């Protein structure tokens, strides 16, 4: 019990320290660029956590979640520019619309598994990229689409700070939803699918329905991340919004931190997102950041297939003293333990014998 309480205290301390660092980041950011880089990292954290609803719970690897990111961004922008809806009303409606769109997409895509599912997810991104590039009358095509700022009176630093906290709030809601599913009966069914889908179905788990529901939830949060990015950045380009790289980054971040962990995608986003911003700043428009990303993915697959958090937990367990089992006890220690248990039983029997029964009390 003492070791359990120590672990709990350590988790609370780490969580409080991380939350304090996150909430005070705009105050100690050196300049607006650092603050904007922090927003990018937070957006990656939202996207990788959203992807982890599918990848972490079911084990299905989707490289096509950039489709929902782009649809959320363009849906928010079009509802604002075409229908003149308030910014955050458009953002919420775009998320709901993408979730509804994900129902027929998931209904078709989730009928296949493994590499076939990966190919279907990539095809979805490429199809939407062609549609949004070609439909220039609605989407602006290759010229892009400008999104009106939701806070036009704010200066750029204040704008960055506001959206930093908005992204942090969206991340908190996404993490809370993942945590709730992880501890629910629904989550147990999803984990059974991840371990052995055929066996889970044989045991009565409605595997197809479970997969479809979590796929739609994942698409919804990914779309909200895309819509929030559109409101913050203000300039959309279909080549970026529907990029296979965005989906690859989501997968890499989740794998790096640990797909079965609540904070795994968050840790992966912090590492990969920060590295990407650094490489882009140092090496400009070169493709060096892609080389570094590929090397990092190779290292993760070879040396930490379960992610950083599980690897760290195994390392801590290796150096933590374990309670001795009965096989590790010497004969003298075992005899002493048995004598102690027998003495305790005799003392307990003696106390019961010395205590008058209810019938004896009545006679007296």
**Per-residue DSSP letters for 129-163?**
HHHHHH-HHHH-GGG-EEPPPS-TTS-HHHHHHHH
- The C-alpha atoms of residue 105 and residue 215 are separated, in whole angstroms, by 9
Q: What was the pLDDT predicted at 12? A: 80
What is the spatial distance between Cα 239 and Cα 250, in angstroms, rounded to a whole number?
Answer: 17
> pTM for this one?
0.84
DSSP, collapsed to helix, strand or coil, labels residue 59 as coil
- Residue pair 97/75 in contact by the 8 Å Cβ criterion: yes
175 touches 262 (CB < 8 A): yes
Report, in this order, helix, strand and coil percent for the chain, each rounded to 5: 80, 0, 20
Which residues does residue 146 pair with via DSSP β-bridges, in sequence order? 235
Question: What is residue 189's predicted lDDT score, i.e. its pLDDT?
Answer: 95
Report phi then psi at 295, rounded to 5: -65, -40
Q: Could you tell me the CA-to-CA distances from 95 to 41, 144, 233 in Å, in that order?
A: 21, 21, 18
Q: Please tell me the distance from the alpha carbon of residue 88 to that of residue 55, in angstroms, as a whole number.
A: 28
For 259-288, the pLDDT digits (tens) are 989 999 999 999 999 988 888 887 766 677
CA angle 144, 149, 151 (to 5 degrees): 170
Ramachandran region, residue 321 (left: φ > 0; alpha: ψ -120 to 50; beta: rest):
beta
DSSP state of 113: -
Per-residue pLDDT, 308: 85
DSSP element (H, E) containing 235: strand 235-236
Distance CA 340, CA 360 (A): 32
CB 189 within 8 A of CB 210: yes
The dihedral formed by the CA atoms of 301, 305, 309 and 312, expressed in degrees to the nearest 10? -100
pLDDT < 70 stretches in the chain:
1-7, 10, 284-286, 320-364
- The answer to whether residues 107 and 212 touch, using CB atoms and an 8 Å cutoff, is yes
Q: Residue 230's pLDDT is what? A: 96
Instruction: Identify the pLDDT of residue 297.
Output: 74
């Amino acid at each position: 019990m003492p070791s359990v309480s120590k672990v709990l205290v350590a988790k609370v301390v780490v969580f409080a320290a991380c939350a304090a660092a996150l909430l005070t980041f705009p105050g100690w950011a050196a300049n607006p660029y650092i603050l904007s880089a922090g927003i990018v990292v937070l957006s990656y954290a939202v996207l990788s956590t959203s992807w982890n609803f599918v990848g972490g719970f079911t084990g299905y690897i989707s490289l096509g979640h950039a489709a929902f990111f782009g649809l959320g961004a363009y849906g928010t922008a079009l509802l604002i520019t075409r229908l003149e809806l308030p910014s955050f009303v458009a953002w919420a409606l775009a998320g709901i619309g993408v979730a509804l769109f994900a129902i027929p997409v998931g209904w078709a895509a989730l009928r296949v598994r493994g590499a076939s599912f990966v190919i279907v997810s990539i095809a979805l991104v490429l199809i939407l990229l062609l549609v949004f590039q070609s439909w220039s009358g609605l989407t602006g095509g290759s010229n892009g689409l400008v999104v009106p700022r939701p806070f036009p009176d704010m200066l750029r630093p204040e704008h960055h700070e506001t959206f930093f906290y908005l992204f942090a709030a969206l991340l908190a809601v996404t993490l809370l939803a993942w945590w709730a599913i992880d501890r629910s009966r629904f989550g147990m069914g999803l984990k059974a699918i991840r371990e052995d889908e055929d066996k889970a179905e044989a045991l009565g788990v409605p595997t197809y329905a479970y997969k479809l529901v979590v796929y739609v939830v994942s698409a919804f949060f990914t779309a909200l991340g895309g819509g929030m990015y559109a409101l913050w950045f203000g300039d959309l380009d279909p080549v970026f919004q529907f990029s296979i790289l965005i989906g690859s980054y989501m997968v890499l971040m989740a794998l790096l931190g640990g797909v079965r962990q609540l904070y795994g995608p968050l840790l992966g986003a912090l590492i990969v997102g920060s590295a990407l911003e650094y490489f882009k700043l140092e090496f400009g428009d070169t493709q060096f950041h892609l080389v570094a990303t590929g090397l990092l993915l190779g290292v993760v697959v070879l040396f930490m297939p379960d992610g950083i958090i599980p690897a760290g937990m195994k390392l801590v367990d290796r150096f933590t003293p374990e309670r001795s089992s009965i096989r590790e006890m010497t004969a003298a220690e075992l005899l002493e333990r048995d004598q102690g248990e027998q003495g305790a039983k005799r003392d307990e029997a003696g106390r019961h014998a010395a205590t008058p029964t209810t019938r004896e009390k009545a006679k007296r």
